[in-house]
C-alpha cells in the first residue's frame, strides 16, 4: 500500500470514529429525551389506551340517567366478568365488557425468558353504530352470555327483547383458528346508514430476546382481492387508508407470531395504523377500522375467523389466501430463491429429525456443491489474471501511470491476445450473490429456529451474547457474538487467500479487509443461525479452493495463454466480451483518428 492510499484509508477511519464519538448525545440529552418519551407515553395512555378490564368496573363512573335511557342504555353499566375457551393450542379469555377476546395465550410456546406466551393482554374491539344520530361503540357495552359450551361462546347485548347484537365464537380442538360471527337482529329499524365500522386496537407484547430486533420485523399486513399482500412500515409510525379494492384480510404481525382477521366477505374499505411502543414489554400498537356493508336486513350476519399462532410458513400457507406472505423472504429475486429452493430443501432435511445445527451444515454443503461449477470458473478466471500480472506490470512500466487511458488500452490488447475476460472472475461470484443474500432474510424470519440450541448458542433465531459489556458500545451494542466473531475471522482469512488467487493490489487489496469489520457491527445482533451459515460457507469455500488448486496447474494455464498469442485472429473463438472489446478498440481508434485531423 502506497503512502497516499494508507493516508486516505486512515483519515476515513479517523473521521468515522470521531463522528460516532462526537455526535453521540450527552447523558443530559439522553435523560431529557427519555423523560419526554415517558411523558408522551403517559399522556397517550390517559387519552387513548383503555384500562385493563379488571380495573374498568372500579374506575369508570356509572352513566347518567339520560344515557341509560338512550340506545343500549341498559348495557352501559355492569361488572366485568371473564370466560375462557381453551384447546391444546390456544387459551382465549373473553370479557363481557365489549363481548371481545380480551387476551390470547399461545400454548406450547414460551417467551425467550420462559414465561407463558401471551400475544396481547387487553384490546379494544367492536362495532361503531350510528343510532339516532348518536355513535354507539359496542366496546363500551356490557354483554351477557347467551350460550356457552367447552368449544363455543355466545355473547349478546340487547337493544330490546327482539333487537340485539350477538357475537358467537367457536374454538375447535387442535386449531389456531377462532370462528367469529356477528349477528345483528332487528337493528335495521334503528341503525342508520349503509355501512358500519369494525374497530380493533391492541398492543402486541414482547416475546423475544431483543425488543429492537422484534420491532424490526413487526408490522400490520393486508391483502386486497386479487392483489399481492402488502404491509405498513416496520421502522416508524404510519397510517394508511385502504380504498383501492376489497380487503381480503389484515393482520397484526410480530416477528414470529401473528393475529389475523379473515372475513368471509371482504371488507369494503378501511384503514390500518401502527405505532412503535416505547413501553417496556411492548412491541407495537396496532389499529384497524374496517367497513362492513349494512343492507338494512332484519337479520344480518357477518362471518369471519381469527388466526392466532406462529408465523411458520407451512402453517400460514394452510390458511390459504396467501397469508404465508407474512413471512418476509426478501425482495425479488431473493424471495423466489427462498420460497422455491431454500425452503423446500430445508423442509426435506427437517423431515429426517436432525438437529438444526446439522440441518444448516448439510444445507450449506448442498448449496456449495450446487455452486461448485461457478466457483471453479471464478477460480480459473482469477488465476489467469494472476498469471498475467507480470506482463501487465511490464506494460505499466513502459506506458507509465500518467496516461491511464493509454494504459487501459494496452491492457485490453493483452486480454484480447491471450483470450482472457477480466470480468470472468466477478461474474460467477455475482451469480452466487443472490443465494448468499437470500439467507440474510431466510434465517431471521425462520420460526423453526426459535428456541433451538446448538453448541453454546442457546437460540439460533437470535444472537448469542457470548460477551456482555453491560453498556452500549457504538456499532456493537451491549454484547459481542462469538459466532459473529468466528464468521468475521473466517471472512478475513477468505479475503486474504482470495487476494492471493486474484493477485489484487493497491486499494482493491485492502478494501476487502474493511467490509468484514463493518459486517461485524451489522451482524453482531443478527441470529446466530445466520452467522453460523456464513461461517460454514467460508470454511467450505476454503476447502473448494484447496481442492481446485490441487487440480489446476498454473504452468498449463500460462502455456495456454501464450499459445493463444500465436493463434491467428480467425482461429480464436470470440466470446461476447471479446466482441465488445473489439468494438471498443475500433471506437477508440476512430476517436484518435478524428482528433489527429483536428
Task: Write the CATH number for 205.
Answer: 2.70.98.90
Q: Indicate if 208 and 130 belong to the same structural domain.
A: yes
Burial of 88 (0-12, 13-18, 19+ CB in 10 A): exposed
Determine if residue 99 is left, alpha or beta; phi over 0 gives left, psi from -120 to 50 gives alpha, anything else beta. left
Q: Indicate if 214 and 297 belong to the same structural domain.
A: yes
Q: Indicate if 354 and 320 belong to the same structural domain.
A: no
Residue 150 lies in a domain: yes
User: Helix, strand, or coil here: 482?
Assistant: helix
- The secondary structure of residue 454, as a DSSP letter, is B
Let me know the angle formed at the C-alpha of 114 by 319 and 103, rounded to the nearest 5 degrees.
50
H helix and E strand count, the chain: 17, 21
pLDDT at residue 244, as a whole number: 87
Element (H, E) at 240: strand 238-242
- DSSP-H helix ranges across 480-527: 482-502, 506-523
**Per-block mean pLDDT, blocks of 10 residues, the chain (598 long):** 43 45 48 52 43 37 50 89 96 97 97 95 95 91 95 95 94 96 93 94 96 96 96 96 94 98 96 95 97 92 98 96 95 92 96 96 94 86 84 84 79 83 74 89 96 95 92 88 94 81 64 84 94 94 86 81 74 57 61 61
pLDDT at residue 22, as a whole number: 45
- Given a contact cutoff of 8 angstroms between Cβ atoms, the answer to whether 516 and 491 are in contact is yes
Q: Indicate if 582 and 530 belong to the same structural domain.
A: no
Residue 586 lies in a domain: yes
- Given 294, 327, 360, which residue is the final one in a domain? 327
Helix %, strand %, coil % of the chain (to 5): 45, 25, 25
- DSSP-H helix ranges across 82-208: none
User: Helix, strand, or coil here: 170?
Assistant: strand
- Given a contact cutoff of 8 angstroms between Cβ atoms, the answer to whether 207 and 257 are in contact is yes
Residue 17 lies in a domain: no
Phi, psi of 563, rounded to the nearest 5 degrees: -65, -35
Q: How far is CA 132 from CA 140, 190, 294, 358, 445, in A?
A: 18, 7, 16, 66, 49
d(CA 520, CA 522): 6
Q: Indicate if 259 and 389 belong to the same structural domain.
A: no
Q: Indicate if 322 and 392 belong to the same structural domain.
A: no
d(CA 508, CA 499): 9
For helices 426-442 and 528-551, the axis angle rounded to 10 degrees is: 160
Give the three cell numbers for residue 30: 439522553
- Given 327, 352, 380, which residue is the final one in a domain? 327
Sequence-separated contacts (24+) of 410-418 with Cβ below 8 Å:
412/581, 412/584, 412/585, 413/585, 414/388, 415/581, 416/578, 416/581, 416/582, 416/585, 417/564, 417/565, 418/384, 418/388, 418/561, 418/562, 418/564, 418/565
Q: Indicate if 355 and 439 belong to the same structural domain.
A: yes
Pairing between strand 152-158 and 257-263?
Answer: unpaired
Residue 27 lies in a domain: no
- Total domain count, the chain: 3
User: Helix, strand, or coil here: 355?
Assistant: coil
d(CA 195, CA 294): 5
CA atoms within 13 A on the CB side of 69: 3
Q: Indicate if 274 and 306 belong to the same structural domain.
A: yes
Pairing between strand 177-185 and 164-171?
Answer: antiparallel
User: pTM (2 decimals)?
Assistant: 0.79
Give the three cell numbers for residue 186: 332487528
Other beta carbons within 10 angstroms of residue 150's beta carbon come to 10
Residue 426 lies in a domain: yes
Residue 47 lies in a domain: no
Determine if residue 437 is left, alpha or beta; phi over 0 gives left, psi from -120 to 50 gives alpha, anything else beta. alpha
Residue 64 lies in a domain: yes
- The secondary structure of residue 204, as a DSSP letter, is E
pLDDT at residue 70, as a whole number: 67
- DSSP-H helix ranges across 205-253: 211-216
Q: Indicate if 412 and 439 belong to the same structural domain.
A: yes
Q: Indicate if 245 and 391 belong to the same structural domain.
A: no
- Given 273, 298, 327, which residue is the final one in a domain? 327
Q: Indicate if 346 and 490 belong to the same structural domain.
A: yes
Give the three cell numbers for residue 560: 495456454
Domain with 587 in it: 567-597
How far does CA 402 lie from the centroid of its chain? 49
- Given a contact cutoff of 8 angstroms between Cβ atoms, the answer to whether 463 and 448 are in contact is no
Pairing between strand 230-231 and 219-224?
Answer: antiparallel
Residue 573 lies in a domain: yes
Distant-in-sequence, close-in-space partners of 308: CB < 8 Å, separation ≥ 6? 90, 92, 104, 106, 119, 176, 178, 257, 258, 259, 260
d(CA 189, CA 193): 11
Q: Indicate if 265 and 351 belong to the same structural domain.
A: no
Amino acid at each position: 500500500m502506497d503512502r497516499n492510499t494508507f493516508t486516505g484509508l486512515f483519515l476515513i477511519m479517523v473521521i468515522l470514529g470521531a463522528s460516532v464519538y462526537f455526535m453521540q448525545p450527552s447523558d443530559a440529552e439522553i435523560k431529557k429525551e427519555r423523560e419526554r418519551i415517558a411523558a408522551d407515553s403517559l399522556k397517550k395512555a390517559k387519552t387513548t389506551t383503555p384500562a385493563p378490564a379488571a380495573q374498568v368496573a372500579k374506575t369508570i363512573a356509572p352513566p347518567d340517567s339520560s344515557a341509560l335511557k338512550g340506545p343500549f342504555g341498559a348495557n352501559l353499566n355492569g361488572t366485568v366478568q371473564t370466560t375462557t375457551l381453551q384447546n391444546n393450542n390456544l387459551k382465549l379469555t373473553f370479557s363481557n365488557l365489549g363481548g371481545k377476546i380480551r387476551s390470547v395465550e399461545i400454548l406450547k410456546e414460551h417467551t425467550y425468558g420462559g414465561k407463558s406466551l401471551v400475544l396481547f393482554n387487553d384490546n379494544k374491539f367492536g362495532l361503531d353504530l350510528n343510532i339516532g344520530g348518536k355513535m354507539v361503540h359496542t366496546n363500551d357495552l356490557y354483554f351477557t352470555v347467551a350460550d356457552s359450551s367447552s368449544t363455543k361462546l355466545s355473547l349478546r347485548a340487547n337493544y330490546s327483547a327482539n333487537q340485539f347484537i350477538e357475537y358467537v365464537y367457536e374454538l375447535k380442538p387442535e386449531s389456531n383458528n377462532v370462528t367469529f360471527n356477528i349477528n345483528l337482529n332487528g337493528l335495521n329499524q334503528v341503525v342508520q346508514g349503509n355501512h358500519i365500522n369494525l374497530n380493533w386496537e391492541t398492543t402486541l407484547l414482547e416475546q423475544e430476546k431483543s425488543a429492537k430486533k422484534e420491532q424490526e420485523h413487526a408490522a400490520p399486513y393486508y391483502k386486497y382481492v386479487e392483489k399481492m399482500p402488502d404491509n405498513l412500515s416496520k421502522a416508524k409510525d404510519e397510517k394508511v387508508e385502504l380504498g383501492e379494492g376489497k380487503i381480503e384480510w389484515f393482520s397484526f404481525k410480530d416477528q414470529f407470531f401473528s393475529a389475523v382477521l379473515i372475513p368471509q366477505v371482504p371488507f369494503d374499505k378501511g384503514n390500518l395504523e401502527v405505532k412503535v411502543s416505547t413501553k417496556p414489554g411492548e412491541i407495537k400498537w396496532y389499529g384497524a377500522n374496517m367497513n362492513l356493508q349494512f343492507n338494512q336486513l332484519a337479520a344480518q350476519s357477518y362471518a369471519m375467523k381469527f388466526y392466532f399462532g406462529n408465523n411458520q410458513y407451512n402453517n400460514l400457507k394452510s390458511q390459504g389466501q396467501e397469508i404465508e406472505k407474512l413471512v418476509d423472504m426478501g425482495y425479488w429475486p431473493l424471495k423466489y430463491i427462498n420460497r422455491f429452493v431454500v425452503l423446500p430443501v430445508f423442509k426435506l432435511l427437517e423431515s429426517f429429525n436432525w438437529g438444526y445445527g446439522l440441518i444448516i451444515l448439510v444445507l450449506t454443503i448442498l448449496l456449495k456443491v450446487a455452486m461448485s461449477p461457478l466457483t471453479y470458473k471464478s477460480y480459473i478466471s482469477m488465476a489467469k489474471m494472476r498469471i498475467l500480472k507480470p506482463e501487465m506490470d511490464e506494460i505499466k512500466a513502459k506506458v507509465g501511470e500518467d496516461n491511464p487511458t493509454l494504459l487501459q488500452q494496452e491492457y485490453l490488447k493483452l486480454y484480447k491476445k491471450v483470450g482472457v475476460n477480466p470480468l470472468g472472475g466477478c461474474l460467477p461470484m455475482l451469480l452466487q450473490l443472490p443465494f448468499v443474500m437470500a439467507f440474510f432474510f431466510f434465517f431471521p424470519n425462520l420460526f423453526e429456529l426459535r428456541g433451538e440450541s446448538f453448541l453454546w448458542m442457546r437460540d439460533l433465531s437470535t444472537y448469542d451474547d457470548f460477551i456482555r459489556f453491560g453498556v452500549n458500545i457504538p456499532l456493537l451494542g451491549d454484547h459481542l457474538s462469538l459466532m459473529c466473531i468466528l464468521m468475521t475471522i473466517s471472512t478475513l482469512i477468505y479475503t486474504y487467500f482470495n487476494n492471493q488467487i486474484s493477485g489484487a493490489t493497491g486499494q482493491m487489496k485492502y478494501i476487502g479487509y474493511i467490509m468484514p469489520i463493518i459486517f461485524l457491527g451489522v451482524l453482531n445482533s443478527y441470529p446466530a443461525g445466520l452467522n453460523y451459515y456464513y461461517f460454514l460457507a467460508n470454511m467450505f469455500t476454503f476447502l473448494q479452493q484447496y481442492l481446485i488448486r490441487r487440480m489446476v496447474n498454473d504452468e498449463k494455464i500460462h502455456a495456454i495463454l501464450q499459445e493463444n498469442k500465436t493463434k491467428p485472429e480467425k482461429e480464436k473463438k470470440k466470446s461476447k466480451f471479446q466482441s465488445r472489446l473489439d468494438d471498443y478498440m475500433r471506437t477508440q481508434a476512430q476517436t484518435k483518428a478524428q482528433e489527429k485531423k483536428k
